[in-house]
Structure 1
């Protein structure tokens, strides 16, 4: 056995090179056979297709417009087609009507079973030239042999309808088969002017197939573009959601880290506040301190990557500034008033110290609501309401419509998503929408639980 660079092993016999070429030839043959088999399968696929309709139309009759047009065209082809066949063949009207009906029936059938309709139309083009030859009748000067005028129109219509419903390679194969059958009839019967009808059909149907291919390609490109835009929007939404959750997690980390640090410091200092503390107390306080420090270490490890991604947002020493609370609300209001908003703040209920994560979420929701007012309703009047309940806090920001034209500013467009995430994180709810009087409202209900005194 000989090992080749591609990893294959072939016998070291004189027939080695010849045997090594066989798999390559078989592969080439298989690549040719598979498309041919697939095309043959499509040529004899008589399965029904969904009837094309105009679903966007609200009028029921217009929804079935393709079927109605096909029916009208069929009736038009049957009447004159019968008269033309009877006149050219000098035969009984029943036979002429039968031939005309077979040609015309392929038109509505193309909407349901396109491949079967094309075969029916192809078969319907054979009897007329054969009967002409049997009766030794010459076709009229302008007759598009091997069809009549109505038969030519019927087969051209069926060819284009089928090309719209099937694949491009199948429509090209059908076009070539039509020309092949017509050429064979012309060679066998040799009538005068046999090539004019085929030439006209080939040119008209060829132009139609090219135009349909261009339209289908454009529609497919548009569909792919819409699909890509949907995927991009979904990915942008997910990324924004993850970024907002990461930001909330970092802020909560600062809050929890502060309290855990206080616990660790107090547990370390407690033994020195008591003379001769019992050994059990020392061990218990030491355990509390060790667990607090371990929790802080684990949180820093988990959120280390989140912090490293926001190095530009941190201060010079790499530490975050203290997170804002509702005590900083006046400063926030002053900042937005400086850029032209009229803001009024009302506080209802009994103000109290709330858990830090609740005050942080309330501040951020108010901040985002005011930012949206600055973007979309410049010059509006804004009213901020804080309602302290026994176990919840209601934050309500209402603004009037814009008094000056709003300029389109860049942004992620997912500010409401961040507010909703903060509210749901606390088990609360968020309502955003236009009120009956035309004002825009952002209303968040945040559960608070027990108050916090330190």
Structure 2
């Protein structure tokens, strides 16, 4: 099925058809004006083609510049009435074809030109017909003014109607955009409510239980107290991030990318937090993390974060090593865990962490690989551009 033409193409096509029709009408009128000019006026055959062209061809300016076309046509009509004698039996100062062209151009002026030009064209045309037409010395002069005033007023009303329709269409577009924006905001608010009801509530309970455990459990050894403190600190960090995202989702004007986001310099703190939570992780950083762009730094942070979460979930107790290298034009990230002798607990959910990392890395033009190692462990590595 043929795709519909764009709006601009349809507009150009309509203008082309209008111009073609105008040229066709002008040629038809010219074919009438030239031979009948000898019937209505006493003219030389040499100048007859030029006079017929002055009477007809100003209509070609009806779309491009109707005011100029009207001025040429009105000037030609005045020239006909002053310099050309009508034949016997004809009392019109200029041809009927010329009158039709003047009517059309006056209507186009009322439709396109500014109000002062419309008033000048109406007054001049009324005066021209009132002083040159048969019976101009005996009939009332205001008759022509009223007739041409009605024509100009009709054109001006059509002009207002078209302008109103254009404004209405533009307002409908704005309304549709606002409706779509409102739907997005409502969806964001719904997601924020769901996150608050499910995730934030349970995270708050984790924080409260971890903080009150040393007071609720008697004879708690220092190692267990430190473990509960680490759990509470990690849960508070996650809760703060969730609250920040909830604030973004609930706001009407703030976009997600305007919310504070982790950077490359936050990766060591992320590793320290994982170590406090009991994950046996070591990390090494070479190069200046502050030179990594924020967009690339956010992706690098999320890759390390998701990789550490996978290590804790699927390889509990296994040693983990995080290596970050910042080189000119590229930053490399590697998260490797050794083999584990324990069996990981079954994980709820669909397991989309690696796919999510690959999507994030691909969005900034990088590459990610995730595969088991020959020693029985697992490694995630990413190459991210910094330019």
Q: Deviations over 1:117-139 (max 9, x none)?
A: 1221121112212124xx6x688
**Distance between the aligned counterparts of 1:100 and 1:199, measured in 2?**
30
Contact 2:62 2:69 in 1 (8 A): yes
Q: Which residue of 2 aligns with 1:167?
A: 114
Q: Which residue of 1 aligns with 2:123?
A: 176
**Distance between the aligned counterparts of 2:248 and 2:49, measured in 1?**
82
Q: Which runs of 5+ in 2 are unaligned?
A: 1-7, 251-347, 361-387
Shift of residue 200, structure 1, vs aligned partner: 7.2
* 1:14-413 mapped onto 2 (5 Å cutoff): 55=10, 64-132=16-84, 140=89, 143=92, 145=93, 147-182=94-129, 186=132, 193-194=135-136, 202-254=145-197, 255-270=199-214, 273=217, 275=219, 277-278=221-222, 282=225, 285-286=228-229, 289=232, 391-392=351-352
Closer/same/farther in 2, CA of residues 99 and 214 from structure 1, 3 Å limit: same
Closer/same/farther in 2, CA of residues 217 and 91 from structure 1, 3 Å limit: closer
* 1:414-429 mapped onto 2 (5 Å cutoff): none
Between the two proteins, the alignment pairs up a number of residues equal to 250
Q: Which runs of 5+ in 1 are unaligned?
A: 1-52, 308-387, 394-423, 429-454
**Distance between the aligned counterparts of 2:143 and 2:28, measured in 1?**
22
**Distance between the aligned counterparts of 1:273 and 1:266, measured in 2?**
11
Shift of residue 258, structure 1, vs aligned partner: 1.0
What secondary structure sits across from 2:10 in the alignment? coil
Contact 1:107 1:158 in 2 (8 A): yes
Closer/same/farther in 2, CA of residues 125 and 87 from structure 1, 3 Å limit: same
**Distance between the aligned counterparts of 2:31 and 2:143, measured in 1?**
24
Closer/same/farther in 2, CA of residues 131 and 86 from structure 1, 3 Å limit: farther
Q: Which moved more, 1:105-114 or 1:120-129?
A: 105-114
Contact 1:250 1:306 in 2 (8 A): no
Closer/same/farther in 2, CA of residues 141 and 392 from structure 1, 3 Å limit: same
